[in-house]
Chains A and B, each alone.
Chain A
Amino acid sequence: MARTPLSENVGLPFTAALRTCSVTVAGARVLSDVDFQIASGEIFGIRGENGSGKSTLLRVLAGLLIPDTGSAEVFGSSPTDASVRLRIGAAIDTPAFYGWMSGRGFLRTLIDMAGVRDDGRSQLALERFGLAGAGRKLTSRYSQGMKKRLALAAASLHAPGLLLLDEPTNGLDPEGREVVRKWIERERDRGTAVVLVSHRDEDLAICELVFEMDAGKLSAAAKGGSG
Protein backbone atom coordinates (compact mmCIF):
# COMPACT_ATOMS: atom_id res chain seq x y z
CA MET A 1 0.00 0.00 0.00
CA ALA A 2 1.92 3.03 -1.24
CA ARG A 3 1.17 6.30 0.46
CA THR A 4 2.06 9.91 -0.20
CA PRO A 5 3.98 11.88 2.44
CA LEU A 6 1.85 12.41 5.50
CA SER A 7 2.29 16.15 5.29
CA GLU A 8 -0.55 15.97 2.83
CA ASN A 9 -2.83 14.33 5.37
CA VAL A 10 -3.80 17.62 6.95
CA GLY A 11 -5.40 17.23 10.34
CA LEU A 12 -3.76 13.92 11.26
CA PRO A 13 -2.29 14.21 14.79
CA PHE A 14 1.46 13.95 14.48
CA THR A 15 4.46 13.56 16.77
CA ALA A 16 7.02 15.28 14.57
CA ALA A 17 6.89 17.28 11.38
CA LEU A 18 9.14 19.13 8.98
CA ARG A 19 7.55 21.84 6.84
CA THR A 20 9.36 22.83 3.65
CA CYS A 21 12.67 22.52 5.47
CA SER A 22 15.87 23.44 3.72
CA VAL A 23 19.38 23.20 5.11
CA THR A 24 22.56 24.46 3.49
CA VAL A 25 25.94 23.38 4.85
CA ALA A 26 29.14 25.02 3.56
CA GLY A 27 27.32 26.32 0.50
CA ALA A 28 25.82 22.94 -0.43
CA ARG A 29 22.07 22.30 -0.19
CA VAL A 30 21.73 19.25 2.03
CA LEU A 31 17.97 19.32 2.54
CA SER A 32 15.68 20.87 -0.01
CA ASP A 33 12.08 21.81 0.82
CA VAL A 34 11.42 18.65 2.77
CA ASP A 35 7.95 17.95 4.08
CA PHE A 36 7.61 15.09 6.50
CA GLN A 37 5.46 14.08 9.39
CA ILE A 38 5.05 11.06 11.58
CA ALA A 39 2.42 10.13 14.12
CA SER A 40 2.57 8.22 17.37
CA GLY A 41 3.06 4.47 16.98
CA GLU A 42 4.39 4.70 13.43
CA ILE A 43 7.74 3.52 12.11
CA PHE A 44 8.95 5.34 9.02
CA GLY A 45 12.07 4.34 7.17
CA ILE A 46 14.37 6.49 5.08
CA ARG A 47 16.94 5.18 2.69
CA GLY A 48 19.21 6.79 0.17
CA GLU A 49 22.76 7.17 -1.03
CA ASN A 50 25.54 8.38 1.26
CA GLY A 51 25.37 12.15 1.56
CA SER A 52 21.77 12.33 0.38
CA GLY A 53 20.71 14.14 3.57
CA LYS A 54 19.27 11.33 5.70
CA SER A 55 21.31 12.09 8.84
CA THR A 56 20.74 15.81 8.37
CA LEU A 57 16.99 15.21 8.42
CA LEU A 58 17.36 13.33 11.71
CA ARG A 59 19.51 16.10 13.16
CA VAL A 60 16.88 18.69 12.28
CA LEU A 61 14.19 16.58 13.96
CA ALA A 62 16.44 16.23 17.04
CA GLY A 63 16.94 19.99 17.22
CA LEU A 64 20.69 19.61 16.65
CA LEU A 65 20.44 21.50 13.38
CA ILE A 66 18.27 24.51 12.75
CA PRO A 67 16.80 24.69 9.24
CA ASP A 68 17.62 27.72 7.11
CA THR A 69 14.04 27.88 5.88
CA GLY A 70 10.90 26.09 6.93
CA SER A 71 10.24 24.74 10.38
CA ALA A 72 10.59 21.65 12.52
CA GLU A 73 8.00 20.72 15.09
CA VAL A 74 8.07 17.94 17.66
CA PHE A 75 5.22 17.38 20.11
CA GLY A 76 3.82 20.74 19.07
CA SER A 77 6.98 22.74 19.85
CA SER A 78 10.39 23.44 18.45
CA PRO A 79 12.68 20.43 18.99
CA THR A 80 15.13 22.71 20.81
CA ASP A 81 12.56 23.45 23.55
CA ALA A 82 13.36 22.13 27.00
CA SER A 83 9.91 20.53 27.27
CA VAL A 84 10.55 18.45 24.16
CA ARG A 85 14.20 17.43 24.37
CA LEU A 86 13.82 14.59 26.82
CA ARG A 87 11.05 13.04 24.75
CA ILE A 88 13.45 12.56 21.85
CA GLY A 89 15.79 9.58 21.77
CA ALA A 90 18.45 9.77 19.10
CA ALA A 91 21.31 7.59 17.87
CA ILE A 92 22.66 9.49 14.89
CA ASP A 93 26.04 9.19 13.18
CA THR A 94 28.96 7.14 14.47
CA PRO A 95 28.66 6.36 18.20
CA ALA A 96 30.99 8.58 20.23
CA PHE A 97 31.79 8.38 23.92
CA TYR A 98 34.15 9.63 26.59
CA GLY A 99 36.85 6.97 26.52
CA TRP A 100 37.74 7.43 30.18
CA MET A 101 34.20 6.61 31.34
CA SER A 102 32.58 3.23 31.79
CA GLY A 103 29.42 2.39 29.87
CA ARG A 104 27.31 2.98 32.96
CA GLY A 105 29.23 6.17 33.72
CA PHE A 106 28.43 7.44 30.23
CA LEU A 107 24.71 6.78 30.67
CA ARG A 108 24.73 8.37 34.13
CA THR A 109 26.45 11.39 32.64
CA LEU A 110 23.68 11.73 30.06
CA ILE A 111 21.05 11.35 32.79
CA ASP A 112 22.77 14.06 34.83
CA MET A 113 23.01 16.24 31.71
CA ALA A 114 19.25 15.96 31.42
CA GLY A 115 19.00 17.18 35.01
CA VAL A 116 17.02 14.16 36.21
CA ARG A 117 17.70 11.44 38.77
CA ASP A 118 19.01 8.02 37.83
CA ASP A 119 16.13 5.94 39.15
CA GLY A 120 17.66 2.75 37.80
CA ARG A 121 17.16 3.70 34.16
CA SER A 122 20.86 3.40 33.32
CA GLN A 123 20.89 -0.22 34.50
CA LEU A 124 17.66 -0.97 32.64
CA ALA A 125 19.04 0.54 29.45
CA LEU A 126 22.21 -1.56 29.73
CA GLU A 127 20.16 -4.71 30.29
CA ARG A 128 17.87 -3.88 27.38
CA PHE A 129 20.80 -4.10 24.96
CA GLY A 130 22.71 -6.93 26.61
CA LEU A 131 25.37 -4.75 28.21
CA ALA A 132 24.59 -5.45 31.87
CA GLY A 133 27.87 -7.32 32.28
CA ALA A 134 29.91 -4.61 30.56
CA GLY A 135 28.58 -1.61 32.48
CA ARG A 136 31.84 -1.11 34.35
CA LYS A 137 34.08 -1.57 31.36
CA LEU A 138 35.66 1.55 29.86
CA THR A 139 33.93 2.59 26.65
CA SER A 140 37.35 2.86 24.97
CA ARG A 141 37.54 -0.94 25.33
CA TYR A 142 34.15 -1.59 23.81
CA SER A 143 33.93 -3.36 20.44
CA GLN A 144 32.11 -1.62 17.57
CA GLY A 145 29.02 -3.70 18.25
CA MET A 146 29.05 -2.82 21.95
CA LYS A 147 29.43 0.86 21.09
CA LYS A 148 26.40 0.64 18.85
CA ARG A 149 24.41 -1.03 21.62
CA LEU A 150 25.50 1.61 24.12
CA ALA A 151 24.43 4.40 21.75
CA LEU A 152 21.02 2.76 21.42
CA ALA A 153 20.85 2.34 25.21
CA ALA A 154 21.51 6.08 25.50
CA ALA A 155 18.71 6.80 23.05
CA SER A 156 16.31 4.69 25.09
CA LEU A 157 17.16 6.26 28.48
CA HIS A 158 14.17 8.55 28.95
CA ALA A 159 11.39 6.39 27.42
CA PRO A 160 11.21 8.70 24.40
CA GLY A 161 8.10 9.49 22.40
CA LEU A 162 10.16 10.02 19.25
CA LEU A 163 13.07 7.78 18.28
CA LEU A 164 15.56 8.85 15.62
CA LEU A 165 17.81 5.97 14.60
CA ASP A 166 20.59 6.14 12.02
CA GLU A 167 21.74 2.70 10.82
CA PRO A 168 20.92 1.15 14.22
CA THR A 169 22.08 -2.34 13.27
CA ASN A 170 25.43 -1.43 11.70
CA GLY A 171 28.21 -3.44 13.28
CA LEU A 172 25.81 -5.76 15.12
CA ASP A 173 25.74 -9.54 14.85
CA PRO A 174 22.45 -11.28 13.91
CA GLU A 175 21.54 -11.68 17.55
CA GLY A 176 22.14 -7.99 18.19
CA ARG A 177 20.09 -7.03 15.14
CA GLU A 178 17.22 -9.12 16.47
CA VAL A 179 17.47 -7.39 19.87
CA VAL A 180 17.26 -4.00 18.17
CA ARG A 181 14.36 -5.00 15.92
CA LYS A 182 12.35 -6.29 18.87
CA TRP A 183 13.11 -3.15 20.86
CA ILE A 184 11.91 -0.92 18.02
CA GLU A 185 8.71 -2.93 17.74
CA ARG A 186 8.15 -2.68 21.48
CA GLU A 187 8.65 1.07 21.29
CA ARG A 188 6.18 1.29 18.42
CA ASP A 189 3.65 -0.70 20.43
CA ARG A 190 4.20 1.68 23.34
CA GLY A 191 3.19 4.55 21.06
CA THR A 192 6.61 5.86 20.13
CA ALA A 193 7.10 7.35 16.68
CA VAL A 194 10.25 5.91 15.10
CA VAL A 195 12.23 7.35 12.19
CA LEU A 196 14.66 4.72 10.96
CA VAL A 197 17.47 5.40 8.51
CA SER A 198 18.99 2.23 7.08
CA HIS A 199 20.48 0.63 4.02
CA ARG A 200 19.24 -2.80 5.06
CA ASP A 201 15.95 -3.99 3.63
CA GLU A 202 15.54 -6.36 6.58
CA ASP A 203 15.67 -3.39 8.97
CA LEU A 204 13.19 -1.42 6.91
CA ALA A 205 10.80 -4.38 6.75
CA ILE A 206 9.26 -3.31 10.05
CA CYS A 207 8.43 0.18 8.69
CA GLU A 208 4.94 1.19 7.68
CA LEU A 209 6.40 3.58 5.12
CA VAL A 210 9.81 3.91 3.55
CA PHE A 211 10.90 7.20 1.97
CA GLU A 212 13.64 7.61 -0.59
CA MET A 213 16.09 10.42 -0.01
CA ASP A 214 17.94 11.75 -3.01
CA ALA A 215 20.06 14.89 -3.16
CA GLY A 216 18.26 16.42 -0.20
CA LYS A 217 14.78 15.67 -1.50
CA LEU A 218 12.36 13.25 0.10
CA SER A 219 10.39 11.26 -2.42
CA ALA A 220 7.02 9.53 -2.19
CA ALA A 221 6.85 6.62 0.17
CA ALA A 222 6.37 2.95 -0.39
CA LYS A 223 5.53 0.08 1.92
CA GLY A 224 8.44 -0.90 4.06
CA GLY A 225 10.76 -3.57 2.82
CA SER A 226 9.41 -3.54 -0.71
CA GLY A 227 12.37 -1.63 -2.00
Chain B
Amino acid sequence: MRSFARQVRAEARKIANLLVLALFVVWTVFLWQDATRTGQLASGQPQTAVMSQMAAKQQVKEVCTSGESEACRNARKSVAVNHYLVRNSIEQGRIAASLSTFPGVLTFVSHQFTAGMGWLFVALVAALHLTGEESRGTVGASVLAAGRMKYLSAKIVTVWSVSVVAIVAAAVVLYELASTFAVSPSVPTGVHVTAQRLSFEGSRTLAPDPTWASWSHALSEFWHAAAVLAIIAVVFCALATQFRRVTRAAAAGALVVGCFFALAAWLHGRAWGPMGGVARLLSLDHVPYGVIDVRMFDITGRPSDMLMRPYGAPVLGPNLSSQPAPVPYLGLVVWLVVAMVAVAFAVRAYARRGFPG
Protein backbone atom coordinates (compact mmCIF):
# COMPACT_ATOMS: atom_id res chain seq x y z
CA MET B 1 0.00 0.00 0.00
CA ARG B 2 2.81 2.37 0.96
CA SER B 3 4.60 1.37 -2.20
CA PHE B 4 1.58 2.28 -4.32
CA ALA B 5 1.20 5.58 -2.45
CA ARG B 6 4.78 6.40 -3.47
CA GLN B 7 3.96 5.60 -7.07
CA VAL B 8 0.96 7.91 -6.95
CA ARG B 9 3.19 10.61 -5.42
CA ALA B 10 5.58 10.19 -8.34
CA GLU B 11 2.70 10.55 -10.80
CA ALA B 12 1.52 13.64 -8.92
CA ARG B 13 4.95 15.21 -9.51
CA LYS B 14 4.62 14.47 -13.19
CA ILE B 15 1.14 15.91 -13.52
CA ALA B 16 2.01 19.12 -11.69
CA ASN B 17 3.01 21.04 -14.81
CA LEU B 18 2.07 24.28 -16.52
CA LEU B 19 -0.17 22.67 -19.14
CA VAL B 20 -2.44 21.15 -16.52
CA LEU B 21 -2.45 24.45 -14.65
CA ALA B 22 -3.47 26.23 -17.87
CA LEU B 23 -6.31 23.75 -18.38
CA PHE B 24 -7.47 24.40 -14.84
CA VAL B 25 -7.44 28.16 -15.38
CA VAL B 26 -9.46 27.85 -18.61
CA TRP B 27 -11.95 25.56 -16.93
CA THR B 28 -12.28 27.90 -13.94
CA VAL B 29 -12.99 30.80 -16.30
CA PHE B 30 -15.81 28.76 -17.85
CA LEU B 31 -17.18 28.09 -14.36
CA TRP B 32 -16.98 31.76 -13.46
CA GLN B 33 -18.87 32.56 -16.66
CA ASP B 34 -21.55 29.98 -15.72
CA ALA B 35 -21.87 31.48 -12.25
CA THR B 36 -22.10 34.99 -13.69
CA ARG B 37 -24.82 33.92 -16.12
CA THR B 38 -26.72 32.23 -13.31
CA GLY B 39 -26.52 35.41 -11.24
CA GLN B 40 -27.68 37.57 -14.13
CA LEU B 41 -30.62 35.25 -14.84
CA ALA B 42 -31.62 35.18 -11.20
CA SER B 43 -31.18 38.82 -10.31
CA GLY B 44 -34.29 40.27 -11.95
CA GLN B 45 -36.39 37.26 -12.72
CA PRO B 46 -38.17 36.67 -9.37
CA GLN B 47 -39.43 40.23 -9.17
CA THR B 48 -40.57 40.27 -12.80
CA ALA B 49 -42.26 36.90 -12.44
CA VAL B 50 -44.14 37.92 -9.31
CA MET B 51 -45.25 41.17 -10.93
CA SER B 52 -46.45 39.30 -14.00
CA GLN B 53 -48.37 36.93 -11.81
CA MET B 54 -50.07 39.78 -10.01
CA ALA B 55 -50.93 41.42 -13.28
CA ALA B 56 -52.42 38.16 -14.50
CA LYS B 57 -54.48 37.83 -11.35
CA GLN B 58 -55.69 41.37 -11.77
CA GLN B 59 -56.70 40.42 -15.28
CA VAL B 60 -58.71 37.49 -13.91
CA LYS B 61 -60.47 39.82 -11.51
CA GLU B 62 -61.39 42.14 -14.31
CA VAL B 63 -62.58 39.66 -16.92
CA CYS B 64 -64.11 36.94 -14.80
CA THR B 65 -66.89 39.06 -13.34
CA SER B 66 -69.67 37.53 -15.46
CA GLY B 67 -69.15 33.76 -15.63
CA GLU B 68 -66.54 31.69 -17.53
CA SER B 69 -66.00 33.57 -20.78
CA GLU B 70 -63.18 32.78 -23.26
CA ALA B 71 -61.23 35.80 -22.04
CA CYS B 72 -61.65 34.61 -18.47
CA ARG B 73 -60.40 31.12 -19.29
CA ASN B 74 -57.33 32.60 -21.03
CA ALA B 75 -56.63 34.84 -18.06
CA ARG B 76 -56.81 31.85 -15.70
CA LYS B 77 -54.42 29.90 -17.99
CA SER B 78 -52.05 32.82 -17.86
CA VAL B 79 -52.13 32.72 -14.06
CA ALA B 80 -51.43 28.99 -14.10
CA VAL B 81 -48.48 29.37 -16.49
CA ASN B 82 -47.05 32.25 -14.52
CA HIS B 83 -47.43 30.19 -11.41
CA TYR B 84 -44.68 27.81 -12.58
CA LEU B 85 -42.52 30.68 -13.72
CA VAL B 86 -42.76 32.27 -10.29
CA ARG B 87 -41.80 29.07 -8.55
CA ASN B 88 -38.84 28.51 -10.83
CA SER B 89 -37.68 32.08 -10.59
CA ILE B 90 -37.84 32.19 -6.83
CA GLU B 91 -36.02 28.90 -6.49
CA GLN B 92 -33.43 30.09 -8.97
CA GLY B 93 -33.04 33.32 -7.03
CA ARG B 94 -32.52 31.46 -3.78
CA ILE B 95 -29.91 29.22 -5.37
CA ALA B 96 -28.15 32.23 -6.91
CA ALA B 97 -28.19 33.89 -3.48
CA SER B 98 -26.55 30.78 -2.00
CA LEU B 99 -23.59 31.19 -4.39
CA SER B 100 -22.23 33.75 -1.96
CA THR B 101 -21.66 30.93 0.55
CA PHE B 102 -18.84 28.40 0.22
CA PRO B 103 -21.11 25.34 0.40
CA GLY B 104 -23.22 26.87 -2.37
CA VAL B 105 -20.19 27.43 -4.57
CA LEU B 106 -18.88 23.91 -3.85
CA THR B 107 -22.25 22.44 -4.84
CA PHE B 108 -22.32 24.55 -8.00
CA VAL B 109 -18.79 23.51 -9.03
CA SER B 110 -19.48 19.83 -8.26
CA HIS B 111 -22.55 19.92 -10.50
CA GLN B 112 -20.88 21.72 -13.35
CA PHE B 113 -17.89 19.38 -13.24
CA THR B 114 -19.90 16.22 -13.52
CA ALA B 115 -22.37 17.51 -16.10
CA GLY B 116 -20.35 19.96 -18.13
CA MET B 117 -16.89 21.12 -19.13
CA GLY B 118 -15.31 18.98 -16.45
CA TRP B 119 -15.57 15.98 -18.75
CA LEU B 120 -13.40 17.70 -21.31
CA PHE B 121 -10.97 18.71 -18.54
CA VAL B 122 -10.60 15.09 -17.43
CA ALA B 123 -10.24 13.89 -21.04
CA LEU B 124 -7.46 16.39 -21.74
CA VAL B 125 -5.62 15.78 -18.48
CA ALA B 126 -5.75 12.03 -19.10
CA ALA B 127 -4.45 12.54 -22.65
CA LEU B 128 -1.58 14.71 -21.43
CA HIS B 129 -0.72 12.47 -18.51
CA LEU B 130 -0.65 9.17 -20.38
CA THR B 131 0.34 9.86 -23.96
CA GLY B 132 2.60 12.73 -22.90
CA GLU B 133 4.97 10.11 -21.45
CA GLU B 134 5.10 8.28 -24.75
CA SER B 135 5.67 11.32 -26.94
CA ARG B 136 8.24 12.70 -24.48
CA GLY B 137 10.07 9.37 -24.34
CA THR B 138 9.93 9.02 -20.55
CA VAL B 139 7.54 6.10 -20.51
CA GLY B 140 10.27 3.44 -20.64
CA ALA B 141 11.96 4.59 -17.44
CA SER B 142 8.61 4.77 -15.66
CA VAL B 143 7.37 1.39 -16.83
CA LEU B 144 10.71 -0.19 -15.97
CA ALA B 145 10.54 1.25 -12.45
CA ALA B 146 6.87 0.67 -11.69
CA GLY B 147 5.73 -2.22 -13.89
CA ARG B 148 3.06 -1.97 -16.55
CA MET B 149 -0.08 -2.43 -14.48
CA LYS B 150 1.00 -0.39 -11.45
CA TYR B 151 2.08 2.36 -13.82
CA LEU B 152 -1.39 2.40 -15.41
CA SER B 153 -3.18 2.20 -12.03
CA ALA B 154 -1.13 5.07 -10.61
CA LYS B 155 -1.95 7.15 -13.69
CA ILE B 156 -5.69 6.59 -13.25
CA VAL B 157 -5.59 7.40 -9.54
CA THR B 158 -3.63 10.59 -10.27
CA VAL B 159 -6.03 11.82 -12.96
CA TRP B 160 -8.94 11.22 -10.60
CA SER B 161 -7.16 12.94 -7.70
CA VAL B 162 -6.31 15.97 -9.83
CA SER B 163 -9.96 16.23 -10.94
CA VAL B 164 -11.17 16.11 -7.34
CA VAL B 165 -8.57 18.66 -6.24
CA ALA B 166 -9.61 20.82 -9.21
CA ILE B 167 -13.18 20.91 -7.87
CA VAL B 168 -12.05 22.13 -4.45
CA ALA B 169 -9.54 24.60 -5.93
CA ALA B 170 -12.11 25.99 -8.37
CA ALA B 171 -14.63 26.35 -5.51
CA VAL B 172 -12.07 28.32 -3.49
CA VAL B 173 -11.26 30.55 -6.48
CA LEU B 174 -14.95 31.18 -7.27
CA TYR B 175 -15.72 31.87 -3.62
CA GLU B 176 -12.99 34.52 -3.64
CA LEU B 177 -14.53 35.97 -6.80
CA ALA B 178 -18.09 35.76 -5.46
CA SER B 179 -18.44 39.54 -5.38
CA THR B 180 -18.32 39.53 -9.20
CA PHE B 181 -21.35 37.27 -9.68
CA ALA B 182 -23.23 36.90 -6.38
CA VAL B 183 -26.66 38.53 -6.39
CA SER B 184 -29.36 39.25 -3.82
CA PRO B 185 -32.63 38.77 -5.70
CA SER B 186 -35.77 40.15 -4.10
CA VAL B 187 -39.53 39.75 -4.48
CA PRO B 188 -42.33 42.24 -3.83
CA THR B 189 -43.79 42.03 -0.33
CA GLY B 190 -46.99 43.74 -1.36
CA VAL B 191 -48.50 45.51 -4.28
CA HIS B 192 -51.03 48.30 -4.66
CA VAL B 193 -53.52 47.35 -7.31
CA THR B 194 -55.68 49.99 -8.86
CA ALA B 195 -57.73 49.79 -12.05
CA GLN B 196 -54.84 49.72 -14.52
CA ARG B 197 -51.83 50.11 -12.30
CA LEU B 198 -49.60 47.93 -10.11
CA SER B 199 -47.04 49.41 -7.75
CA PHE B 200 -44.71 47.97 -5.12
CA GLU B 201 -45.25 48.38 -1.45
CA GLY B 202 -41.79 47.06 -0.78
CA SER B 203 -39.57 44.10 -1.46
CA ARG B 204 -37.97 41.26 0.47
CA THR B 205 -34.53 39.86 -0.28
CA LEU B 206 -34.59 36.14 -0.90
CA ALA B 207 -32.56 34.13 1.59
CA PRO B 208 -30.05 31.62 0.26
CA ASP B 209 -31.51 28.21 -0.47
CA PRO B 210 -31.03 26.41 2.87
CA THR B 211 -30.11 23.15 1.18
CA TRP B 212 -27.57 24.68 -1.17
CA ALA B 213 -26.06 26.71 1.64
CA SER B 214 -25.61 23.72 3.94
CA TRP B 215 -22.29 21.93 4.42
CA SER B 216 -23.82 18.48 4.68
CA HIS B 217 -25.49 18.89 1.30
CA ALA B 218 -22.38 20.38 -0.29
CA LEU B 219 -20.23 17.52 0.96
CA SER B 220 -22.68 14.89 -0.25
CA GLU B 221 -22.71 16.60 -3.68
CA PHE B 222 -18.92 16.71 -3.63
CA TRP B 223 -18.62 12.98 -2.91
CA HIS B 224 -21.17 12.25 -5.57
CA ALA B 225 -19.09 14.25 -8.05
CA ALA B 226 -15.96 12.41 -6.89
CA ALA B 227 -17.67 9.08 -7.58
CA VAL B 228 -18.75 10.18 -11.07
CA LEU B 229 -15.22 11.46 -11.72
CA ALA B 230 -13.72 8.15 -10.63
CA ILE B 231 -15.68 6.45 -13.39
CA ILE B 232 -14.97 8.97 -16.12
CA ALA B 233 -11.28 9.19 -15.12
CA VAL B 234 -11.02 5.44 -15.62
CA VAL B 235 -12.80 5.66 -18.97
CA PHE B 236 -10.69 8.54 -20.32
CA CYS B 237 -7.41 7.07 -19.04
CA ALA B 238 -8.31 3.77 -20.68
CA LEU B 239 -9.11 5.63 -23.88
CA ALA B 240 -5.77 7.45 -23.76
CA THR B 241 -3.88 4.14 -23.48
CA GLN B 242 -4.97 3.34 -27.03
CA PHE B 243 -2.96 6.26 -28.40
CA ARG B 244 0.68 7.27 -28.39
CA ARG B 245 0.29 10.95 -29.25
CA VAL B 246 -1.29 13.66 -27.08
CA THR B 247 -3.14 15.28 -29.97
CA ARG B 248 -4.74 12.01 -31.07
CA ALA B 249 -5.76 11.08 -27.54
CA ALA B 250 -7.14 14.58 -26.87
CA ALA B 251 -9.07 14.51 -30.15
CA ALA B 252 -10.49 11.08 -29.31
CA GLY B 253 -11.44 12.29 -25.82
CA ALA B 254 -13.16 15.38 -27.23
CA LEU B 255 -14.96 13.19 -29.78
CA VAL B 256 -16.24 10.89 -27.04
CA VAL B 257 -17.42 13.87 -24.97
CA GLY B 258 -19.15 15.35 -28.05
CA CYS B 259 -20.84 12.04 -28.92
CA PHE B 260 -21.98 11.62 -25.34
CA PHE B 261 -23.48 15.11 -25.26
CA ALA B 262 -25.18 14.51 -28.60
CA LEU B 263 -26.57 11.19 -27.34
CA ALA B 264 -27.81 12.86 -24.18
CA ALA B 265 -29.47 15.69 -26.10
CA TRP B 266 -31.07 13.19 -28.48
CA LEU B 267 -32.38 10.95 -25.70
CA HIS B 268 -33.52 13.84 -23.52
CA GLY B 269 -34.21 16.59 -25.97
CA ARG B 270 -36.64 18.31 -23.69
CA ALA B 271 -33.92 19.11 -21.21
CA TRP B 272 -32.41 22.57 -21.34
CA GLY B 273 -29.36 22.35 -23.57
CA PRO B 274 -26.85 19.52 -23.81
CA MET B 275 -25.73 19.91 -20.22
CA GLY B 276 -29.23 19.26 -19.02
CA GLY B 277 -29.29 16.18 -21.24
CA VAL B 278 -26.05 14.93 -19.77
CA ALA B 279 -27.37 15.61 -16.30
CA ARG B 280 -30.39 13.51 -17.09
CA LEU B 281 -28.41 10.70 -18.61
CA LEU B 282 -26.32 10.55 -15.47
CA SER B 283 -29.40 10.84 -13.27
CA LEU B 284 -28.08 14.12 -11.93
CA ASP B 285 -31.15 16.14 -12.76
CA HIS B 286 -33.23 15.33 -9.70
CA VAL B 287 -34.00 18.17 -7.39
CA PRO B 288 -31.75 19.67 -6.12
CA TYR B 289 -29.18 18.78 -8.75
CA GLY B 290 -27.83 21.33 -11.14
CA VAL B 291 -28.21 25.03 -11.55
CA ILE B 292 -28.40 24.85 -15.30
CA ASP B 293 -30.73 21.92 -15.39
CA VAL B 294 -34.39 21.23 -15.85
CA ARG B 295 -35.38 22.58 -12.48
CA MET B 296 -34.89 26.12 -13.66
CA PHE B 297 -37.07 25.74 -16.64
CA ASP B 298 -39.47 22.87 -16.25
CA ILE B 299 -40.52 22.18 -12.70
CA THR B 300 -43.18 19.56 -12.67
CA GLY B 301 -45.47 18.65 -9.83
CA ARG B 302 -48.54 19.86 -8.10
CA PRO B 303 -48.98 23.63 -8.25
CA SER B 304 -48.46 25.14 -4.84
CA ASP B 305 -50.76 27.70 -3.28
CA MET B 306 -48.11 30.36 -3.69
CA LEU B 307 -49.57 33.77 -4.48
CA MET B 308 -53.08 32.42 -4.43
CA ARG B 309 -53.73 34.87 -1.63
CA PRO B 310 -53.93 38.28 -3.28
CA TYR B 311 -51.12 40.63 -2.36
CA GLY B 312 -49.64 38.21 0.14
CA ALA B 313 -45.91 37.70 0.45
CA PRO B 314 -44.76 34.93 -1.87
CA VAL B 315 -43.95 31.71 -0.10
CA LEU B 316 -42.65 28.45 -1.40
CA GLY B 317 -45.10 25.61 -1.63
CA PRO B 318 -44.30 22.48 0.38
CA ASN B 319 -43.41 20.51 -2.74
CA LEU B 320 -40.62 22.91 -3.58
CA SER B 321 -38.39 21.98 -0.69
CA SER B 322 -35.25 20.25 -1.92
CA GLN B 323 -35.43 16.50 -2.05
CA PRO B 324 -32.42 14.20 -1.76
CA ALA B 325 -31.75 12.57 -5.09
CA PRO B 326 -32.41 8.85 -5.27
CA VAL B 327 -29.29 6.80 -5.86
CA PRO B 328 -29.28 5.86 -9.57
CA TYR B 329 -28.39 2.19 -9.05
CA LEU B 330 -29.05 1.10 -12.63
CA GLY B 331 -27.02 4.00 -14.02
CA LEU B 332 -24.25 3.20 -11.56
CA VAL B 333 -24.10 -0.42 -12.69
CA VAL B 334 -24.06 0.61 -16.37
CA TRP B 335 -21.23 3.06 -15.78
CA LEU B 336 -19.23 0.58 -13.74
CA VAL B 337 -19.54 -1.96 -16.56
CA VAL B 338 -18.43 0.68 -19.10
CA ALA B 339 -15.42 1.50 -16.92
CA MET B 340 -14.51 -2.17 -16.46
CA VAL B 341 -14.67 -2.84 -20.18
CA ALA B 342 -12.52 0.23 -20.84
CA VAL B 343 -9.95 -0.94 -18.27
CA ALA B 344 -9.90 -4.42 -19.80
CA PHE B 345 -9.01 -2.85 -23.15
CA ALA B 346 -6.36 -0.66 -21.52
CA VAL B 347 -4.79 -3.59 -19.66
CA ARG B 348 -4.74 -5.60 -22.88
CA ALA B 349 -3.10 -2.72 -24.71
CA TYR B 350 -0.43 -2.24 -22.03
CA ALA B 351 0.26 -5.94 -21.49
CA ARG B 352 1.56 -6.29 -25.06
CA ARG B 353 2.75 -2.80 -25.84
CA GLY B 354 6.37 -1.97 -26.48
CA PHE B 355 7.79 1.16 -24.88
CA PRO B 356 10.72 3.33 -25.89
CA GLY B 357 13.55 3.13 -23.41
Residues in chain A within 8 A of chain B (CB atoms): 25, 55, 58-59, 62-66, 80, 82, 85-86, 88, 90-94, 96-98, 100-101, 105, 108-117, 154, 164, 166
Contacts and interface: CB of A to CB of B under 8 A. Distances in A.
A112 B352 CA distance: 24
A100 B357 CA distance: 20
A55 B357 contact: yes
Nearest to A95: B137
Majority-rule SS of B interface residues: helix
16 contacts: A64-B354, A65-B355, A85-B145, A90-B141, A90-B357, A94-B137, A96-B137, A105-B13, A109-B10, A109-B13, A112-B6, A112-B7, A112-B9, A112-B10, A113-B145, A116-B3
A91 B357 CA distance: 7
Given A100-B17, A105-B13, A116 B140 contact: no
Contact of A115 (B4, B136, B356): B4
Contacts of A98: 13-14, 17, 136, 138
A84 B147 CA distance: 10
B41 interface: no
B146 interface: yes
Interface of B: 2-4, 6-7, 9-10, 13-14, 16-18, 136-138, 140-148, 150-151, 154, 352, 354-357
A93 B17 contact: no
A90 B144 contact: yes
Given A59-B354, A64-B355, A96 B136 contact: yes
Contact of A80 (B2, B4, B142, B147): B147
Contacts of A80: 147-148
Contact of A85 (B9, B10, B147, B356): B147
Contacts of B17: 98, 100
Contacts of B18: 100
A110 to B, nearest CB: 5
B137 A114 contact: no
A101 B144 contact: no
A85 B18 CA distance: 31
A56 to B, nearest CB: 9
Nearest to A23: B354
Contacts of B9: 112
A202 B144 CA distance: 29
Contacts of A88: 144
Nearest to A56: B354
Contacts of B145: 85-86, 110-111, 113-114
Contact of A63 (B6, B142, B144, B150): B144
A137 B141 CA distance: 20
The 6 closest A-B pairs by CB, nearest first: A92-B357, A115-B3, A96-B137, A112-B10, A113-B145, A65-B354
